[in-house]
Structure formats: structure tokens, C-alpha cells
């Protein structure tokens, strides 16, 4: 039987169930059948949407770069990001992946005019009165290692907080860190793969 869960991975949690000395893992928050594992990953210091399943075919459908699924990230950056930097992100920036230069694909980047409603983070980001920490939205169709962080740093505005909000039509709307929601295959596939 195939199981499907969408979870809100908390900050400073590894995207794995296996034990890791001194670090929290998904096993500290989520009780799922033994053969269920995360599809893809979110970095230890990132939060948000992660899919858990034992449906092996889903892995290839979601992670194969040929399929270009939309992933939406909400990113809090260090400093008053300007239109030039947003345009730079949209057009792609050159980042380092495994020691090689890589130019990111065009993406959708925009500045939130009102900060998004997100759960408090524990510990919170470092607050500095004189330096703004606005939120931007990035919608990518690729997922290189630590790509969003590398992109915003390259544009001159390092990432302070990173939340994956959406994959295609699947979101963490109304979820809190540590929440999980079981889904039926038909519903999940419709949200991920219907045009």
C-alpha cells in the first residue's frame, strides 16, 4: 500500500529518519510507516513543504530535472533588496555547484509588499534595527543544492530565513512546523501533475 504525507519540516531538522548525533531528524516529529521516506530534501536550516511517501515512482516524477515542476520559496533576505537585484534573480545568476560555475534558469522573483503570515521561528532570525529584512518570493523550476541561498547571496542579499511554500498546487497553507497531513494518491497526483 502506498502512503502519502505532506509535512511542514521545522527549522534545524534533517530531512531524514535515520539517527544523527546531536541533530533532530524527521523521526523526532513524524510517526509514519517504516518504508516511508522524504522525496527530495530541504536543508537543515530551511523549513517548509516536504513530501513523504513509499511510492518510488513519485521520486523520479518529482526530482527528474526534465519535468521542471514549480517550487515556490518564501525568502527573508538581509538588506533592502532593490528592483535590480530582483531582475538579476529573475534572469538567472551564476552560482557554484560542486566546484563548477552554473547559471540558474530564469525564474519568477518578486518582493512581498506586505510580509507573509508565517509561523514564528525558534530561534528567530538575528534582528538588527538599522537593516531591513524583507521577504521575497522565488518560483523555480529546478532544485540545485542550496540554490536559493546561493542565488540571493550572489545578488547581494543573503538569505536569513527560507521556507518552501509550494510544489505545483501543493502548499503548506494553514500548516505549522511539525504538522503533517495524509493524502490520497489521486488528490496528491492531481495537485502535482495536472496542468
pLDDT tens digits along 9-56: 999 999 999 999 999 999 999 999 999 999 988 999 999 999 999 998
Q: What pLDDT is recorded for position 152?
A: 98
- What share of the chain has pLDDT > 90, as a percent? 84
Q: Which of 28, 35, 43, 78 is catalytic?
A: 43
Task: Flag whether pLDDT at 178 surpasses 90.
Answer: yes
Mean pLDDT score, 88-109: 96
C-alpha grid cell, residue 136: 521575497
162 or 123, which is more confident:
162
Tell me the pLDDT of the chain averaged across its residues.
94
Active site residue 43: yes
Confidence bin at 151 (pLDDT 50/70/90): very high
Query: How high is the pLDDT of residue 195?
Result: 64
Three cell numbers written together for 87: 531582475
pLDDT of the residue at 133: 95
165-179 average pLDDT score: 96
pLDDT of residue 126: 84
Query: What is the structure's pLDDT at 49?
Result: 98
According to CATH, what is the number of the domain 1-65+172-195?
3.30.70.580
Q: At residue 66, does pLDDT exceed 80?
A: no
Domain spans of the chain, in order of start: 1-65+172-195, 70-167
Cell of 117: 503570515
Nine-digit cell string for 76: 527573508
How sure is the predictor about 4, in pLDDT bands with cuts at 50, 70 and 90?
very high
pTM, full prediction: 0.95
Do 1-65+172-195 and 70-167 have matching folds?
yes
The CA distance from 57 to 61, in Å, is 6
How far out from the chain centre does Cα 135 lie?
Answer: 14
Rg of the Cα atoms in the chain: 17
Higher pLDDT, 194 or 89: 89
Cα(66)–Cα(95) distance, rounded to whole angstroms? Answer: 20
Cell 493524502, residue located: 183
Domain 70-167 has CATH 3.30.565.10: no
Amino acid at each position: 500500500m502506498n502512503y502519502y504525507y505532506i509535512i511542514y519540516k521545522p527549522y534545524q531538522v534533517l530531512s531524514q529518519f535515520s539517527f544523527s548525533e546531536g541533530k533532530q531528524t524527521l523521526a523526532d516529529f513524524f510517526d509514519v510507516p517504516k518504508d516511508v521516506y522524504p522525496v527530495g530534501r530541504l536543508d537543515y536550516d530551511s523549513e517548509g513543504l516536504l513530501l513523504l511517501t513509499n511510492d518510488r515512482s513519485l521520486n523520479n516524477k518529482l526530482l527528474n530535472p526534465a519535468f521542471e515542476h514549480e517550487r515556490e520559496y518564501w525568502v527573508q533576505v538581509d538588506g533592502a533588496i532593490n528592483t535590480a537585484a530582483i531582475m538579476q534573480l529573475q534572469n538567472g545568476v551564476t552560482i557554484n555547484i560542486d566546484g563548477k560555475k552554473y547559471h540558474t534558469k530564469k525564474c519568477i522573483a518578486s518582493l512581498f509588499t506586505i510580509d507573509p503570515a508565517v509561523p514564528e521561528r525558534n530561534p528567530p532570525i538575528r534582528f538588527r534595527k538599522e537593516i531591513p529584512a524583507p521577504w521575497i518570493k522565488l518560483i523555480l523550476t529546478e532544485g540545485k543544492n542550496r540554490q536559493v541561498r546561493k542565488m540571493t547571496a550572489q545578488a547581494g542579499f543573503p538569505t536569513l530565513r527560507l521556507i518552501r511554500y509550494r510544489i505545483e498546487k501543493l502548499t503548506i497553507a494553514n500548516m505549522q512546523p511539525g504538522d503533517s497531513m495524509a493524502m490520497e494518491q489521486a488528490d496528491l497526483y492531481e495537485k502535482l501533475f495536472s496542468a
